[in-house]
């Protein structure tokens, strides 16, 4: 038996009003792993990440981060436990500058103390962001905004990075850059849970994946297993 997982999602159900988007979803992510949740539009991938970072509360089940159940933790303190969320559609503050967006990522007290150090790290990772640091974030290209959104999440000093479709809406060349970046972030020692519809490409950069369809986990396994799975090849890879 290896050590307990870093993140455990235990029997989570969630939805919006009377609508159920997730049904009894369980998964785990171990320290140092990169794990993907793949599935079609509307499967509940975004909802799952929102439950993990407590933007919405589950109707059943719980999420446990390094042994701490998130149930009683206020939403704005989840980030202090080492969970950073790069939201769907990036969600930068468009009228703040790049550097002000990065400052927001370092809002919590422990992160403020390390602001300079981490800013240097993010600028080293994304020299482009350093060039644009005084530019309003909303005026940058989609690829640049994605870098800024990832940089903002890294500013909190996370252990676990949640990424919601970082490749969505980007030109094909940029998509490849984003996946290379995910590899680079892993190599820096971050644990990653990534949600993607770009299945072929995401399976190249993660260790394991879960297939989510209409709110339930349908399959899970190593990237190689899922790439070889007849259902996934037929339904998602068009092979």
Binding site for ligand ADP (CB under 6 A): 16, 19, 21, 39, 41-47
Concatenated DSSP letters of the chain: --PPPSEEEEEEEEEETTEEEEEEEEEEE-TT-EEEEE--TTSSHHHHHHHHTTSS--SEEEEEETTEESTTS-GGGGGGGTEEEE-TT----TTSBHHHHHHHHT-SHHHHTTHHHHHHHHHHH-HHHHHTTTSBGGGS-HHHHHHHHHHHHHTT--SEEEEE-TTTT--HHHHHHHHHHHHHHHHTT-EEEEEES-HHHHHHH-SEEEEEETTEEEEEEEHHHHHH-HHHHHHTS--
To Mg ion, the closest distance from the beta carbon of 217 in angstroms equals: 16
Please report whether residue 75 would count as binding another protein according to CB under 8 A: yes
Selection from another protein, Mg ion, ligand ADP, none that 7 binds (CB < 5 to 8 A by kind) is none
To Mg ion, the closest distance from the beta carbon of 210 in angstroms equals: 15
Q: Which of the residues 198 through 217 are near Mg ion (CB under 5 A)?
A: none
Q: Which of 20, 23, 61, 104 binds another protein (CB under 8 A)?
A: 104
Q: Which of the residues 162 through 221 are near another protein (CB under 8 A)?
A: none
* Closer residue to another protein, CB minimum distance, 101 or 223: 101
To another protein, the closest distance from the beta carbon of 223 in angstroms equals: 28
Selection from ligand ADP, another protein, Mg ion, none that 184 binds (CB < 5 to 8 A by kind) is none
Interface with Mg ion (CB under 5 A): 46, 88
């Amino acid at each position: 038996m290896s050590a307990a997982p870093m993140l455990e999602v235990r029997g989570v159900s969630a939805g919006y009003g009377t609508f159920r988007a997730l049904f009894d979803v369980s998964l785990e992510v171990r320290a140092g792993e990169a794990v993907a949740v793949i599935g079609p539009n509307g499967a509940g991938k975004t909802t799952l990440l929102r439950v993990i970072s407590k933007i919405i509360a589950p109707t059943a089940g719980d999420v446990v981060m390094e042994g701490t159940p998130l149930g009683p933790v206020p939403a704005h303190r989840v980030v202090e436990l080492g969970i950073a969320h790069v939201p769907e559609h990036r969600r930068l503050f468009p009228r703040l500058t790049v550097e002000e967006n990065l400052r927001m990522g370092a809002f919590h007290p422990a992160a403020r103390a390390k602001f300079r150090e981490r800013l240097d790290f993010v600028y080293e990772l994304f020299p482009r962001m350093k060039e644009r640091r005084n530019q309003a974030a909303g005026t940058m290209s989609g690829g640049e905004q994605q870098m800024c959104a990832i940089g903002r999440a890294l500013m909190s000093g996370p252990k676990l990075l949640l990424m919601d479709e970082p490749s969505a809406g980007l030109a094909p060349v940029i998509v490849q850059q984003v996946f290379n970046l995910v590899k680079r972030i892993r190599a820096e020692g971050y644990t990653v849970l990534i949600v993607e519809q770009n299945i072929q490409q995401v399976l190249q950069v993660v260790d394991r994946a879960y297939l989510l369809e209409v709110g339930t986990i349908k399959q899970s396994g190593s990237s190689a297993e899922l790439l070889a799975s007849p259902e996934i090849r037929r339904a998602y890879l068009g092979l």
